[in-house]
């Protein structure tokens, strides 16, 4: 867990476990080649008792000639403000402080006093809540800069060690408050199991956690390899083919194995976007898998932490939920242009961040003699006014160049795999109210430039910042 030269910050609450850790590391510091610092986090949850704990730790560190780093935060107020569980908020802020110490170079490792009893209580609590293998892995001995050297040591052993040294410690009265689930496990459940079962239940649970951690590490490697094959990353989004998620292990005969892999891939996708899995339950995973197996395009599942999964054609898109989604889906715009006067017109579509450029050019005689019909240019003489660039509307339809009948633009955009949320603001050019062009599609056959065209209107699409979107822009055949 350590290397010679490490600066180890020992998290000391004042209780017996953390004091035992401090004294044991002091005894071993020369052999390990490490230097020690004391770190204390005051959660301000127990009034004067919490302040007394802080004073006790400061005094102890001073007596031993050790630097003492202290952070004090009003955890109860923060938990109320954020609506989180009090114990979870306390843990989050405590560990954030520990990692800050390492980040600022005040320590290279932080050691905490978790014992074999803490491990047993954690595994029992997660068993009672129906945890999977990841939860049964319990408390990790090493996680980033955090190390827990005492996970094989019983709480009673540490108390005996301190008593031999004549060293008092502070007792946190909330540890005995059996209105709390964890305290009931500590005071009632674990002692009952230890009394009723042969052998050490705590040691058996610690062994279970160790085996679960190793199996979990193996499964993580398998999932990572398959996820990297499946993931079609687009910025901050993760996209998976629905068929891949519904059947992630082609050729696997075991349905349960396939479902287990699908669930883990779903969790991996969620973690990639959300960066954690807090609040994600088996029920959430089941809903996402149902979306993959039998959902329709446009269906979506909302997950905790602002995450959503949307079915887009044959894909599932994992992304952060956008509070402005509905506003975006209702985007409406219309820009009138007159290229006959201006020669070249650029329409800046503020609502979508795109530009549409229209340029009127002479269609050369050589081009008319050799050209059959253009799919990327409009015959300017066939166009009527007003000429308007607007968003797609339900019911828009025309016969595209190269097709024999009128098609709904919705169907054409679906063929191009344009999602509904993007389709709502998709640019369309209308001539006297009739659609004659839409981004990425052939122009309307009735308006396409051909052998008799004298002037052609070329259309190009760009992002607002000037990056070209596709090769459709200014398609010239002469």
Both tokens of residue 65?
């000639």
What stretches of 295-373 adopt beta strand conformation (E)?
Answer: 300-303, 307-312, 315-320, 334-337, 344-349, 354-362
Cα–Cα distance, 400 to 437 (Å, whole number): 8
> In the prediction, which pLDDT does 458 show?
86
For residue 101, the model assigns a pLDDT of 97
Residues present in the chain in total: 478
- The CA radius of gyration of the chain, in Å to the nearest whole number, is 33
CA 38 – CA 99 distance, rounded (Å)? 14
Distance from C-alpha of 407 to C-alpha of 264, rounded to nearest angstrom: 42
- Please check whether residue 378 is in contact with residue 475, taking contact to mean a CB–CB distance below 8 angstroms: no
* Per-residue model confidence (pLDDT) at position 232: 81
| Residue 278: both structure tokens together | 């807090």
Q: How far apart are CA 404 and CA 444, in angstroms?
A: 11
Q: Please give the structure tokens belonging to residue 362.
A: 């002479």
Query: What whole-number distance in Å separates Cα of residue 251 and Cα of residue 150?
Result: 45
231-321 CATH: 3.30.465.60
In three state form, how does the secondary structure of 394-405 look? CCCEECECCCCC
- Whole-number Å distance between alpha carbons of 364 and 368: 6
User: 414: closest CA among 298, 333, 309?
Assistant: 298
Q: Distance of CA 332 to CAs 392, 410, 425, Å?
A: 9, 16, 7
- Helix, strand, coil: what percent of the chain each, to 5? 45, 20, 35
Residue owning tokens 């610690």: 206
Quote the pLDDT of residue 330.
Answer: 58
Query: Which helix (H) or strand (E) covers residue 180, if one does?
Result: none
Class of domain 7-198: alpha beta
Q: Are 333 and 349 in contact (CB under 8 A)?
A: yes
- Write down the domain spans for the chain: 7-198, 231-321, 331-463
Query: How many whole angstroms separate alpha carbon 114 and alpha carbon 148?
Result: 6
Q: Which tokens in the block code for residue 346? A: 């650029």
Local confidence pLDDT in tens for the 478 residues of the chain: 999 999 999 999 999 999 999 999 999 999 999 999 999 999 998 889 999 999 999 999 999 999 999 999 999 998 888 888 888 899 999 999 999 999 999 999 999 999 999 999 999 999 998 888 989 999 999 999 999 999 999 999 999 999 999 999 998 877 777 888 888 999 999 999 988 987 789 999 999 999 999 999 999 999 999 999 998 876 678 899 999 999 998 888 788 999 999 999 999 999 988 888 888 888 899 999 999 999 888 888 988 888 999 888 888 999 887 654 544 455 778 888 887 776 677 888 877 777 888 888 887 654 554 444 445 688 888 888 888 888 888 888 998 887 888 888 888 888 887 766 677 788 889 988 889 898 888 888 888 888 888 888 888 776 544 333 333 233 322 2
Q: How many CA atoms lie within 13 A of 292 on its CB side?
A: 24
User: In which element (H, E) is residue 266 found?
Assistant: helix 255-274
Rounded Cα distance between 445 and 366, Å, is 21
User: Residue 241, SS3?
Assistant: strand
- If residue 407 lies in a helix (H) or strand (E), which one and from where to where? strand 407-408
CB proximity list for 446: less than 8 A, separation 6 or greater? 382, 398, 399
**Which residue's entry shows tokens 């901050």?**
236
Rounded Cα distance between 463 and 424, Å, is: 17
């Amino acid at each position: 867990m350590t290397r010679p030269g490490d600066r180890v910050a020992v998290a000391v609450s004042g209780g017996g476990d953390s004091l035992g850790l401090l004294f044991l590391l002091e005894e071993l510091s020369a052999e390990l080649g490490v230097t020690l610092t004391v770190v204390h986090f005051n959660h301000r949850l127990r009034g004067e008792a919490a302040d007394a704990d802080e004073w006790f730790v400061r005094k102890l560190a001073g007596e031993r000639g050790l630097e003492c780093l202290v952070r004090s935060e009003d955890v109860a107020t923060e938990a109320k403000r954020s609506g989180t569980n009090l114990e979870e908020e306390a843990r989050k802020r405590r560990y954030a402080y520990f990692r800050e110490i390492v980040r600022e170079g005040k320590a290279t490792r932080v050691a905490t006093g978790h014992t074999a009893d803490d491990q047993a209580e954690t595994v029992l609590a997660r068993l009672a809540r129906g945890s999977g293998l990841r939860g049964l892995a319990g408390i990790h001995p090493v996680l980033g800069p955090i190390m827990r050297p005492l996970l094989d040591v019983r709480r009673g052993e540490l108390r005996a060690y301190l008593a031999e040294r004549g060293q008092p410690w502070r007792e946190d009265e909330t540890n005995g408050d059996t209105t709390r689930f964890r305290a009931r496990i500590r005071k009632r459940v674990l002692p009952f199991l230890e009394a009723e079962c042969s052998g050490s239940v705590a040691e058996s649970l610690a062994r279970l956690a160790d085996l679960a951690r190793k199996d979990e590490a193996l499964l993580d490697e398998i999932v990572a390899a398959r996820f990297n094959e499946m993931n079609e990353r687009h910025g901050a989004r993760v996209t998976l083919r629905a068929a891949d998620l519904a059947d992630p292990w082609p050729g696997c005969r075991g349905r349960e194995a396939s479902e287990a892999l699908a669930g883990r891939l779903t969790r991996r996708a969620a973690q990639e976007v959300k960066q954690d899995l807090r609040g994600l339950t088996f029920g959430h995973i089941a809903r996402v898998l149902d979306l993959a197996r039998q959902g329709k395009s446009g269906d979506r599942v909302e997950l905790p932490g602002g995450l959503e999964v949307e079915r887009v054609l044959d894909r599932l898109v994992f992304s952060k939920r956008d509070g402005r989604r509905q506003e975006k889906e209702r985007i409406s715009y219309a820009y009138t242009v007159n290229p006959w006067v201006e020669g070249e017109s650029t329409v800046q579509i503020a609502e979508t961040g795109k530009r549409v450029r229209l340029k009127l050019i002479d269609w050369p005689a050589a081009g008319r003699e050799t050209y059959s019909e253009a799919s990327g240019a409009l015959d300017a003489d066939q166009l009527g006014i007003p000429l308007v660039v607007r968003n797609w509307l339900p019911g828009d339809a025309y016969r595209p160049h190269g097709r024999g009948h009128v098609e709904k633009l919705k169907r054409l955009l679906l063929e191009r795999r344009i999602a509904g949320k993007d389709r709502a603001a998709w640019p369309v050019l209308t001539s006297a109210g009739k659609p004659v062009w839409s981004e990425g599609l052939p122009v309307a056959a009735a308006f396409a430039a051909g052998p008799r065209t004298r002037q052609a209107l070329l259309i190009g699409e760009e992002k607002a910042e000037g990056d070209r979107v596709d090769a459709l822009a200014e398609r010239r055949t002469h």
